[in-house]
A and B are shown apart, each in its own frame.
Chain A
Amino acid sequence: MLTIKNLHAEVDGKQILKGINLEIKKGEMHAIMGPNGSGKSSLSSVLAGRENYTVTQGEVIFEGKNLLDMSPEDRAREGLFLAFQYPVEIPGVSNLHFLKTALNEIRAYHSLPAMESKEFLKLTKEKQQLVDFNANLMNRSLNEGFSGGEKKRNEVFQLAMLDPKLAILDETDSGLDIDALRIVAAGVNKLRSADKAFMVITHYQRLLEYIVPDFVHVLYNGQIVKTGTKELALELEEKGYDWLKEEVHQKESV
């Protein structure tokens, strides 16, 4: 579904990604871990098309198409979704209106007619229940005055509504207490299916107790330095990142 080859990117002239290689297939759950400043969020930004990042080398193929050639909106329309680490508050834009606009723009891209209001409301209700999103927040301005947990739940709710092929969750667990974390994770788990893939970016192993990954990748200094299964996450939890950093430096000095 997604193939990242030798991806290099910089922001403000500073190299952040230094040759990422990653293959994600349908139905898979990939976790990206790594210490602060290793490039985890940069990777998600580059994939979603944030404009201040410049790709200097490499390519990203998403469902057979060159992802890096597309505008952010076309990436979303092709089925990529980024759950933001810091969802934006937009006063004056209602959650419902926003979602309807997004859904219909994606449908228009695929030459589908706009969704009828009745059908849209039915879908909304169904997905609200699925991810346990408070219906009272629907008519409020987008994320305005939402608690940290409500914002993150709204991201998962949007994910459920827009039904992407590949969802990237950027530190969705940050700022959540354990109850909110469980609810968000349960929502994500309900959305897992054989034809969807997930990339979960996290600092901590905690989230991975609830969302069990097929693969765990460790990002350090702009590269994936280790790939393993869920056991790797446990090992990191126990030993921290320092041993990995040393391994990398030893390799470099050889």
Chain B
Amino acid sequence: MTSDKSFYEFISNGVPGPEQKVDADNAILPARKLAFGRFKELGLPTVKTEEWRYTNIQRYLKDAFTLAQEEQGTVTAEQLKAAGIPQLDSYRAVLVNGRLQADLSTLPTGGKITVSKVSDAAGNPQLQAWFDKHPHLQSQPFAALNAALFADGLFIEAGVNASLDKPLHIIHVYTASANAFIQPRHLIVLHKSATLEVIESAVGINDNAIAFVNGVTEVVLEENAELWHYNIQSTVKNSRHIYHTSTTQKADSRYHHFNFTLPSAELTRNNLSVALTGSNTETNLHGLYLATGTQHVDNHTFVDHLVPNCNSNELYKGVLLDDANGVFTGKIHVHQDAQKTNAFQQNNNLLMSEKANINSQPQLEIYADDVKCSHGFTVGRFSEESLFYLRSRGIGEEAAKSLLVNAFAFDITDQVHIPALQDFLAEKIRQYVAGAINN
């Protein structure tokens, strides 16, 4: 399946349906077909679509891409290392273009936590129950496209009271000989009182071909389950990402999501949404984006308070350099029944160049009267006085700026409970600042 010219045209009009897929799995095919119909109905967004106003997606889809469903590709040790996190003690699931590679992976065994390919688990009742069912995905064309034609991905299921002794690290390797449109898809289901830490990171393909990744992760947290969910986006310049993460939280569950967008993918669009369907839940959404060059980073978040007594906390921070462009849209919807809701949202930005730009818009829709909600947005520049103070103590400009960016990001990085991941992020920040100064 290749488009010879504009991929936008190809997926708008010419793309064949899921029944054409070589590995169309019978058990999942009905869901794929439904999604394909939905995609056809929704159509691709333009800048006139409200949710895509600040991200002209057509621009990023005008090249030709191959729907890289079948290409296996090879993974080098170097690529794996580049996608890794030094000193991280974890289980490992390595996926090439969305497909799990058992020989490169170290999966948990013998316990109540299973990690399998979505294609292998297609008939699983949990997968059948939850696949592509999240209400927020129903209006999203890229999520529908993914459901219709996704390559493969992981189905992670944690049984009642299950937990792991260390995090599960999902490493994506994207590799193709030519421009590729790659669609991974995960479903994570934590049953009652299960806990899990999942880290997802990716390494891009070569510099000569463009990887367009259109990924979806659905998460289901049953009663009292807890998930620490880290997403690290640090692929090469020639990569473009649209990522939907949609979570359903039942009563007493706790969801901690971290999104780190680092240099240097040219497009990153994240749609993170959480539906709170049970009371007494806790939701923490943390985001940090460090953008440079002509990177475009767009974070759309949505916290849907459907029932009473839920707490959500959101903090997104960004540092933008050069001509980088940032978008933050944070929606909080408190339904009429959702009394005693606490919902807080904060977006802080540090612009390090004259040309860097940020569009931030909080969207609070509150239909209950006994709630505590707040939102805030700041944009600032480096404090020259702080910089001078550090330099006057013998700290060079680069180290001083690195200290200040680390300090700015501290509220986020401090919440990361995995030391190796904290060190990894500190090193990424250092490289980011060094790159900025040597530019």
Contact = CB atoms under 8 A, between A and B. Distances in A.
Given A51-B384, A101-B403, A91 B393 contact: no
B386 interface: yes
Interface stretch (B160-168, B234-242, B406-414): B406-414
Given A90-B403, A105-B399, 5 more contacts: A76-B393, A76-B394, A93-B407, A102-B395, A106-B394
A81 B394 CA distance: 9
Contacts of A87: 389
Given A71-B397, A93-B403, A105-B399, A88 B391 contact: no
Contact of A98 (B391, B393, B397): B393
Interface residues of A, number: 30
Interface in A84-108: 84, 87-88, 90-93, 97-98, 101-103, 105-106
A87 B388 CA distance: 11
A101 B389 contact: no
A102 B394 contact: yes
Contacts of A98: 390, 393, 395, 403
Interface in A57-93: 71-73, 75-77, 81-82, 84, 87-88, 90-93
A102 B406 contact: no
A49 B392 contact: yes
25 contacts: A49-B392, A51-B388, A71-B391, A71-B397, A72-B392, A73-B392, A73-B395, A75-B392, A76-B391, A76-B392, A77-B394, A88-B383, A88-B386, A92-B407, A92-B408, A92-B410, A98-B393, A98-B395, A98-B403, A103-B394, A105-B394, A105-B399, A109-B394, A141-B407, A162-B394
A106 B396 CA distance: 9
A211 interface: no
Nearest to B400: A73
B407 A72 contact: no
Interface of A: 48-51, 71-73, 75-77, 81-82, 84, 87-88, 90-93, 97-98, 101-103, 105-106, 109, 141, 158, 162
Interface string B399-426: 1100110111111000000000000000
B394 A73 contact: yes
Contacts of A109: 394
Given A76-B391, A101-B403, A92 B411 contact: yes
Q: Which 8 A-B pairs have the closest CB atoms?
A: A92-B407, A92-B410, A76-B394, A102-B393, A72-B391, A106-B394, A88-B389, A73-B391
Contact of A88 (B385, B397, B410): B385
Contacts of A106: 394
Contacts of A82: 392
A106 to B, nearest CB: 4
A161 B316 CA distance: 37
Contacts of B386: 88, 90
Nearest to B406: A92
B167 to A, nearest CB: 25
Interface centre among B388, B391, B393, B404 (most CB of A within 10 A): B393
Given A51-B384, A101-B399, A90 B394 contact: no
A105 B407 contact: no
